Each structure stands twice: as structure tokens, then as C-alpha cells.
Structure 1
Amino acid sequence: MGKSKFRTTELSNPAFEMDGLRFITIKTPHLKGRGDICVFVPKGEDHQSLPVVTLLHGVYGSAWVWPFLGNAHGITQRLIDQKKIPPMVLVMPSDGLWGDGSGYMNHDGKNFEKWIAEDVPDAVFENIPEVSEESIHFIAGLSMGGFGALKIGAKYGEKYQAISAHSLITEVAQMTLFVEEPLDAYKQAERAREDVLTAIIENRENLPRLRFDCGLDDELLDYNRTLHQELKKNQVPHTYEEFVGSHKWEYWQEHLEDTLIFFKDVLKKSC
């Protein structure tokens, strides 16, 4: 491998890793500093060019919440052991740690979007031997992370094979339900960076496979239903599902399985 794209990189010592979890910290101009990435590598020898699933967290969280609040690594390993999905690498970055949540948007001179779409895949490629240039990439997220996954996945459709989201924020104004920062702090020059529907419509010619779901007791349910209806009206192919549950980790733990099996099905069709 050639020269690193990052000035500094810290990688966890394999001697101290547990349950297949590794940590990477890189310094990037897009964050004007350092960013953290938690990576899960499944059990097994001689894994090569494994599919990569980027999981984006919601407000208040960081790189650790998907494994240590959501048991994402445990769920993934169980599905692999049950042969419901092939071995996959989970990549769980921080959102850049701005305020209560960056929204994975660009502000304060930092490019949180490119941090996810460019830096994170590059850091994983450089530091995880089980990942190669041939690895297929997927992106998913919950709440604010679902907002980021759909916008970034649509804009960077050439990078991702499919997109999935749980309980997603669909438009930037909904951030005010969760954060203390003023809405003006999130304003973008382009509407596609503030609104999932606009991002999808503007990039529909290169849109990856798409699914999302929401709980029946979730405060974001009506917004998710509206997005579903607007996508139908605009004839954008997608899958939308509703399940019992609310805006809580118990819901996301249960339905991460739907995301991973969806990605498995996309993999099968692409082979």
C-alpha cells in the first residue's frame, strides 16, 4: 500500500481487542482535527474483500454507540453464524462530534459529509486487511444517522450499493426535536443537503437500492410516512416498513437485522 492519505493514524492493538472490535483515529482536514471510527471484523481466517457496512449514529452518540448500546457487532456475528448473511465488516464512525449532532452536514468550516463518504472508507481500506478496493460498500443509520445515510448515500451513489435507515430524520428542521443548537447553525447553501427527498430526487439516476423503516410509536413516524408517499409519487423505487416500537435502542437492535439481510439480498443480486 502506498502513502497514507492521513497525516496521523492510531490503530488499536490486536492484543487488547475484544469481540472483533477495533478502533481507528485519524487526523483529517475535513474535520480540522481527529475523528474516531469503531470497526467490527467478523471471526474467521483468510477473509478478503469483505462487504463493508457503514453505520451512522444519531444525536448525542459517537463511534461507540452502535456496538455498546446497539450490540451491532453481536447481532452481525450471530447472523453470520446462522448463515443468514455472509461475513461483513461494520464501520461505525463518529459524526464529527459537533454540538449535540453534526447532522453529517457541512458547517463551521468542517466537511462532515466528506468525512463520512471519503475519509472513513479510506481509513478502513488502509487499516483493515479484510477490506480491499474490491469490497462492496453499504451505508445505513438511525435517526440523525438515517438522515445522513440517505443524503450521503444518494449523493455518492457510485460508492454505495444500497442504503438503509431506521427512524430517520427526513428534513433538517426536525433536528430541533433533539438538539439545543439553533436551526440556523445547520443551514446549507444547497437544499439537497437539508432534505432527504430533494437529495434523492436530484440523484435518482444513480440511486443505490433503498429501504427505511420506522416504529409505530416514534415521534418521526409521520415524517417517514410523508417521505414514503413522496417517493411513491415521484416513482422512486424503495422499500418502506413499519413495526411496533418507538425511538429507542430496543427498536434499532431488533431491526438492524432487517438492514443486514437487505444488504445480503442486494449482494446476491449483484453477483
Structure 2
Amino acid sequence: MTALRLEVSNPEFTPKDTQFVTVYSSNTGRRHDISIYNAHLIAENAPVVLLLHGVYGNHWVWMNLGGVHTVYDQLKQQGLSDFVLVMPSDGGVLEGSAYLPLSNGEDYDRWIVEDVRLAVEQTVSAVSKESNWYITGLSMGGYGALRLGAKYPSLFKGISGHSSVTCLEDLKFFTEVSLHQYQEKNDELESNIVYWCKKHVAELTPMRFDCGQHDELFESNNLLAKRLTQANITFSYEKHYGGHEWAYWHKHIATTLQFFDQIQRQS
């Protein structure tokens, strides 16, 4: 794959262990940003956790609203494996791209699975083509993680979602943008999480998701769990106290990191 055009932050002027990258994506025809934590790790083939944000958000929110780096550092002190945390923009289109290929030709699906991956390999010395990748997200990012993880099972060793949007109709809770704006370049199956899980059931990697009982997406997550069970898909689903809020995600991202750590230790 051709090297990307990008700008990379200078460690001398950047917060400790953090790197910022701006990438031109031929898949979208736009520039996008990525925040990376533990970017200067000295290791070989270090595993990567890809964290996708929700509607209205951008690459910085996982750290600067969710404090994911502080959760990671606390878990590291307790024995968590080394991971590189990669937090990309969703693409900055509409109030959220939903990480989908759109009918206008802008492909925010491939921005994540192709461009972000290559940008990290080009700029983080500890990450190589042999590194294991894991994917998680919150809200719209949870939808992206579950859908992309199921669509591209060979690219991800584990999948996790928090308070996930489970279908395009769930976006109505957060945006007034017409769902017609999210028409996929293929057909309605493109956006369907259960479709991709069933299509790739034999290759599907370990998957989990959770939702707070006071979240507007709680019933949608319950329905997704029911449909996956009916389709004989293996997964775990946890229900917790809490709503659609950063306090919830700050707390429960620890479960995802520990879930990925368990998989990594067995790989």
C-alpha cells in the first residue's frame, strides 16, 4: 500500500507519551486527525487498541473527556499488557459519519480500516504489520466497532462496544440529520451488525458489549443481544447502572482493556 501523506507531532512539544497525526485520506478526499497514546513505547509488534468516538466528538474526546489514558496507566500498574491506544476522528462529516461508506463516494469505513492502520504503522515504531489490533467505541463509535469488527474479522482480535448505537435508526436520539444522508454505497445490509456477524460467523473474533440501564439506547442494545442470540452468534452482553455519559464510559473502558488483555495473553 502506498505511503500516506501526513503530518506528525514533535515529541518535544507534545504531551508525554502522546502523538498527534493528521492524515490525508484518498478514501474520503479529506484530512483527518488521530490521537495516539503510548506512542513512544519501545517494543516489537505491540498490540493496538482502536477507540472510536461518538456523535459530535472527535479524535481528542477519549483522552480529554474520557480520561482513557489515565485508566490505562492505572491498569498498567496492576499488570495490564502494553498497548498502543489509537483514537481517530470519525471523518468530521455531518454530525457523525457512523464510520460508513456513504453514497457520495466518501468511505469512512476504509478510512478506519485502511488509512488509520497504515498511519499508525508509519509513525509508531512499536507497531508493525504483525501487531494485533483490537477495536472498541462508545455510542456511534460502539456501532462502528461492532460493525467493522464483524465486517473485517481478520483485522481485529477482539471487539467491544459501550452504549452502542445498534442501527442507523438509533441516530435519531442524537441528531436531526436525515438518515438518507447515511445511505450506503451498496444496500441496507451494509449497515447491519447482525448481517456481518452471520456472514462471518466462522471467523468472528471474541465480542462483548455493555449498556447502562438508564441509557436511551438500552432497549436497542437488549434487542441486538436478542437478535445475536437468535442467530447463534457467540458474544457477551453486560447491563450496568448508568446513562449515556462520560462517567459511564470512563468507568467501563477498563473492562474492555482487560478483555483485550486476556485475548492478547492467549494469542
- Flag whether TM exceeds 0.5 (same fold): yes
Q: Distance in 2 between matches of 1:130 and 1:4?
A: 20
| Greater Cα shift, 188-197 or 12-21 | 188-197
Once residues 196 and 142 of structure 1 are traced to their aligned partners in structure 2, the CA distance between those partners, rounded to angstroms, is 15
The answer as to 2:259 corresponding to 1:262 is yes
Task: Give the equivalent residue in structure 1 for 2:165.
Answer: 169
1:42–1:88 contact (8 Å) kept in structure 2: no
Q: Residue deviations 1:44-68, cap 9 Å, x none?
A: 6x32221100000000000000000
Aligned equivalents of 1:22 and 1:75: distance in 2? 18
The CA deviation at 1:43 is: 7.3
CA distance 1:111–1:43, shift in 2 (3 Å) = closer
CA contact (8 A) 2:35 2:87 kept: yes
- State the partner residue of 1:128: 124
2:96 to 79, 96, 101: 101
Normalised by the size of structure 1, how large is the TM-score? 0.94
What whole-Å deviation, never above 9, does each CA across 1:188-211 have from its counterpart, x for those lacking one? 233332221122112212111100
Tell me which amino acid in the other structure corresponds to 2:234. P
Deviation of 1:78 after TM superposition, in Å, equals: 1.4
Shift of 1:216: 0.8
Question: How far apart are 1:250 and its partner, in Å?
Answer: 0.3
Question: 1:30-109, aligned counterparts within 5 Å?
Answer: 30-41=27-38, 46-83=42-79, 85-107=80-102, 108-109=104-105
Question: Residue 162 of structure 2 contacts residue 249 of structure 2 at CA under 8 Å; is this kept in 1?
Answer: yes
1:148-227 correspondence to structure 2 within 5 Å: 148-188=144-184, 189-227=186-224
Q: Return closer, same or farther for 1:136/1:15 CA change in 2, 3 Å cut-off.
A: same
Q: Which residue number in structure 1 is paired with residue 113 of structure 2?
A: 117
- Please report the TM-score for the alignment, with normalisation by the length of structure 2: 0.96
In 1: Cα distance, 2:88 partner to 2:230 partner = 34
Report sequence identity in percent.
37
Tell me the secondary structure at the aligned position of residue 202 of structure 2.
helix
Matched length? 265
Q: For residue 96 of structure 1, what is the amino acid of its counterpart? A: G
Contact 2:53 2:59 in 1 (8 A): yes
Q: Distance in 2 between matches of 1:32 and 1:166?
A: 30
Aligned 8 A contact 1:31 1:115 in 2 = yes
Q: Distance in 1 between matches of 2:18 and 2:98?
A: 25
The match for 2:14 is 17
Shift >6 Å, 4+ stretches? none
Instruction: Give yes or no for contact 1:100–1:180 (8 Å, CA) kept in 2.
Output: no
The one-letter code of the counterpart of 1:260 is L
Structure 2 vs 1, CA of residues 217 and 94 (structure 1 numbering), >3 Å: closer, same or farther? same
